[in-house]
Amino acid sequence: MNYNPYSLENKIILVTGASSGIGKTTAIECSKLGATVVITARNEKRLKSTFDELDKSFGQKHQMIIADISNTEGLEYLVSGLPTIDGLSSNAGMAVGNKPIKFIKEEDVQAIMQTNTYSHALLLKLLFKKKLLNKNASCVFTASIGGTISWGPGNTIYGMSKAALESFVKYAAVEFAPRGIRCNSVCPGMIETPLINLDALTDEDKAIDADKYLLKRYGQPIEVARTTAFLLSDASSFITGTSIVVDGGYSVNH
């Protein structure tokens, strides 16, 4: 028998925002570590692409649920189709590009807070109320250093949504600890995903920005996914209420 405390074999993991970027990579990585994965997103074509890439070498029977969890109906539809789960990787997120405060619109604030903050909180509430979280389940939320460490101009709404999410995770860790349920967040720096192309930054701008990182580059989705997988595994069984920064040394350099 191979000893591997990082294994996710025999665990059922729900991954939201699984159609692209960090969510997609996390779902695939969890499947490679043995997890049975339930993936969800609102784009059926892209989610099917993720589903086709999931590893099945452990005999897993993965599940795909199309749902828009930015609204109550989508959340309830998702939860109605779930088995009890051992872990949650909550990645749903959006951005509106680079907008200074004076150009912020109310609808921008509502849309980003709904997706980046409220949907995560309400999903966890439903999972708990409907007894879909197994004993000693682990819940991991993708936040950002843009919420609590890095404050760049034009990133206000996104940053405040992620800061609120980080705060929620710590409260959740306190409330759910008596049930043995762990709640943590992962806070990436700039990661090479489609979201970074929403900012009006040239390749030269990005190169200058990447130079601020100690490792002199942006991160890759797999580097965040593996941190999330660690928090979902029994190897992190004494970690809860924590934010793990995955930023290539950016925060140390500022």
Q: Are 21 and 221 in contact (CB under 8 A)?
A: yes
Q: CA 222 to CA 196: how far, in whole Å?
A: 16
Q: Hey, CA dihedral for 188, 109, 96, 213, is it positive or negative?
A: negative
Q: CA 239 to CA 219: how far, in whole Å?
A: 24
Quickly list H helices, the chain: 21-32, 44-53, 72-80, 106-113, 119-129, 145-148, 156-176, 203-210, 221-232
Label residues 226-248 b or e (16+ Cβ within 10 Å = b). Answer: bbbbbbbbeebeeebbebbbbbb
Structure tokens of 199? 């900012």
Strand (E) or helix (H) holding 67: none
Contacts of 207 (CB under 8 A, 6+ apart): none
Q: Name the residues annotated as catalytic.
A: 158
Q: CA 121 to CA 86: how far, in whole Å?
A: 18
Structure tokens of 118? 């409220």
